[in-house]
Structure 1
Amino acid sequence: MTKLYPVHNFSELYPITLEKMSYSDVLPYDSGMLDVGDGHHIYWETCGNPNGKPVLVVHGGPGSGATPYWRQFFNPNLYHIILFDQRGCGRSYPNAGDTGSALIANTTEHLISDMEKIRTKMKVDKWMLFAGSWGTTLSLAYAVTYPNRVTELILWGVGTTQKQEIDWLTWEMRHIFPKEFDDLLYPIKDIMGDRNIPLAYNELLISSDPAICMPASWAWCTWEDRIVSLGNHVSPSERYFDDRFRLCFARLVTHYFGNYAFLDNNYIVGNIQNIKDIPLIMVKGRLDISSQLSITWAMHKQHPLSDLYLIDNSGHGGSEYMHRVLIGATEYFVTQ
């Protein structure tokens, strides 16, 4: 690794190169809807080489959806790229932007089951998981549940959605953004009680009254923009200007974060030994204050086959150098 890049690797088990920034977008060659039960239908698509190395892309949010952005990380000549929209978002239905009923039968356990149904449909025995942000929680939960189905893990913006992490990105952020935190608390000041902040917000968000749920969605997503932006400048996500997307995203995030991903608090970190034989590359921005580096570090120390890349100038949203590392990781694993 050249010192020209502000990237530090803590173990260097997998010698990757940092030369490529992205691959050209490739359109799906097949797509469809999968009835996964409970009234939910999941959108899926496949790109690249149907005979290539299978990789499942697990998007973040929860609720961000499998946008074309995710396809740029894989050589389409060598990878069989599978993407899906998780329950309640994107092209899957019911959509949480339309109805609060999309949150029914919508837990991490359900999403893991959906991933297995997709794997079976695609006739894939084992696959790589590639995930960012919330998707890393879901991927890790899937991997510790079905370790024999996972060949490698590439994770960036790593988190496990434990209580301490949710407290961190809400209560603890008040020490960094006190004015914005006051703004976050204001809409829920009369209903907060002893609940966590996302769960209190979810009560407002699932209302069918636009006068209640829409202002709450703006307040939550304004906070999201704040904690993922670097420095004083806040970069608003253009996607939040779409009322349906914003409400969908806010409902799903607060649903999952308010319930700590519906997992036992130590489910992932306490079961890392289940995936000790699976090669793992984790990538984290040094400036990513929205998720705790200490969580990633703890997993790295427990996992004998893990590399941890720390990108000095990157936040939660990634950077050129993070893209280079992720591309290098996919190139390395497809040649092994």
Structure 2
Amino acid sequence: MNFLYPEIEPFNTGYLKVSQLHEIYFEQCGNPNGEPVIFLHGGPGGGLQDNYRRYFDPKRYHIILFDQRGCGKSKPFAELRENTTWDLVSDIEKIREELSISKWAVFGGSWGSTLALAYAQSHPDSVSALYLRGIFMLRKKELRWFYQEGASFLYPDAWEKYIAPIPEEERDDFISAFYKRLTSEDQSIRSEAAKAWAVWEASTSKIFPDTEMISKFSGDKFSEAFARIECHYFINGGFLESENQLLDNVDKIRHIPTVIVQGRYDIVCPPQTAWELHKKWPEAEFIMVQDAGHSLSEKGITQALVSAVNK
């Protein structure tokens, strides 16, 4: 059963110059006079997919989506300069102002949930509701689990391919080793590292591996932005003041109606993080989807999100 709304095309697309260096692509779909909602994609560096428009009733919602700095249709591509969490928070607010929206709902999963929390805590008066999925707060234990040791015990076959570009003597810190290669001036070195990094995430995102997803993530263009930008954020601790910043600042957004959706078997962003947020923020509705992993497109996740947003 498909829980998504029918495919739609934007009624408006454009670019917004947010700095001397960056222009971000954005699009508007659905009802221009409807309830505003902005979709924050994952990664960082993941870019938009057409299906992202379909989580919202197009008759009810004014749906805004954008490619974050350095990815998708935004320019310049795969650029790391002027690309931080707080630059993106500023971009979201600039889009809101550009579109003359007073308040909007914010929908984000994985890295999108990180960015949604950071934005809401920075601009609580701009947010009418939060829809969060696959909670990620960019703490050391979360990064270590997925990129150093932990998830490796569950996916040893995919792990072998992930670590293949890294020599034995550099394997005590995979994020640093990948960052060195992803910022190399040698295109072949960057490409090999980017594909290994991106395919590792694609291979672990669903309970049943998705060959189409893995193929997309292994593409040169997608993997370059995805891997470079993710690794850039991770090696810099998400540019947060402290690793518990998003958890410690829940009081700033406690009043915002919020739904948290989490897959029980999420390998990329394990349920412990969502559970810690839930314990800190019991007022938010918490939904554990028992038969799902990480991906937005898994049936149980899709059903829970569509139901929450459109009820």
Pick the TM interval, shorter chain: over 0.9
Q: In the alignment, what sits opposite 1:113? A: 90
Amino acid at match of 1:286: R
How far apart, CA to CA, are the structure 1 residues paired with 2:171 and 2:223? 25
How far apart, CA to CA, are the structure 2 residues paired with 1:177 and 1:324? 27
How far apart, CA to CA, are the structure 2 residues paired with 1:110 and 1:278? 23
Q: In the alignment, what sits opposite 1:181? A: 159
Contact 2:195 2:220 in 1 (8 A): no
Q: CA deviation at 1:20?
A: 7.6
Farther off after superposition, 57-66 or 103-112: 57-66
Change over 3 Å in CA distance of 1:191–1:38 after alignment to 2: farther
Q: In the alignment, what sits opposite 2:106? A: 129
Q: In the alignment, what sits opposite 1:255? A: 232
How far apart, CA to CA, are the structure 2 residues paired with 1:47 and 1:251? 29
Q: In the alignment, what sits opposite 1:223? A: 200
Change over 3 Å in CA distance of 1:190–1:25 after alignment to 2: same
Structural mapping, 1:286-297, within 5 Å: 286-297=264-275
How far apart, CA to CA, are the structure 2 residues paired with 1:298 and 1:151? 23
Q: In the alignment, what sits opposite 2:305? A: 326
Q: In the alignment, what sits opposite 2:182? A: 205
**Are 2:272 and 1:276 equivalent residues in the alignment?**
no
**Are 2:158 and 1:172 equivalent residues in the alignment?**
no
Q: CA deviation at 1:179?
A: 5.0
Selected match of 2:291 from 296, 313, 328 = 313
SS of 2:92's partner is helix
Farther off after superposition, 182-191 or 262-271: 182-191
Contact 2:163 2:196 in 1 (8 A): no
Change over 3 Å in CA distance of 1:37–1:77 after alignment to 2: same
Q: CA deviation at 1:183?
A: 4.2
SS of 2:130's partner is strand
Farther off after superposition, 245-254 or 171-180: 171-180
SS of 1:34's partner is strand
Amino acid at match of 1:21: F
Contact 1:28 1:47 in 2 (8 A): yes
Change over 3 Å in CA distance of 1:237–1:193 after alignment to 2: closer
Contact 2:198 2:218 in 1 (8 A): no
Q: CA deviation at 1:197?
A: 2.0
Change over 3 Å in CA distance of 1:26–1:192 after alignment to 2: same
1:124-148 per-position Cα deviation (integer Å, ceiling 9, x unaligned): 1111001111100000111111111
1:222-276 per-position Cα deviation (integer Å, ceiling 9, x unaligned): 3213322426x56452322431111111111111122221112011001111111
SS of 1:80's partner is strand
SS of 1:66's partner is coil
Q: In the alignment, what sits opposite 2:69? A: 87
How far apart, CA to CA, are the structure 2 residues paired with 1:43 and 1:182? 36
How far apart, CA to CA, are the structure 2 residues paired with 1:223 and 1:211? 18
Q: Whose relative contact order is higher, 1 or 2, with alpha carbons under 8 Å and at least 6 apart?
A: 1
Change over 3 Å in CA distance of 1:38–1:189 after alignment to 2: farther
Q: In the alignment, what sits opposite 2:276? A: 298
SS of 1:57's partner is strand
Q: In the alignment, what sits opposite 2:9? A: 27
Larger Rg: 1
How far apart, CA to CA, are the structure 2 residues paired with 1:37 and 1:217? 27
Identity %: 38
With structure 2 as the length reference, what TM-score do the two structures score? 0.92
Contact 1:278 1:305 in 2 (8 A): no
Unpaired runs of 5+ residues, structure 2, are: none
Q: CA deviation at 1:122?
A: 0.7
Aligned length: 307
1:132-179 per-position Cα deviation (integer Å, ceiling 9, x unaligned): 111000001111111111110011112111111101112222332345
SS of 1:56's partner is strand
Amino acid at match of 1:160: M
How far apart, CA to CA, are the structure 2 residues paired with 1:328 and 1:237? 28
Q: CA deviation at 1:324?
A: 1.6
How far apart, CA to CA, are the structure 1 residues paired with 2:191 and 2:169? 17
With structure 1 as the length reference, what TM-score do the two structures score? 0.86
How far apart, CA to CA, are the structure 2 residues paired with 1:300 and 1:168? 20
Change over 3 Å in CA distance of 1:182–1:319 after alignment to 2: closer
How far apart, CA to CA, are the structure 2 residues paired with 1:287 and 1:324? 16
Q: CA deviation at 1:181?
A: 3.4
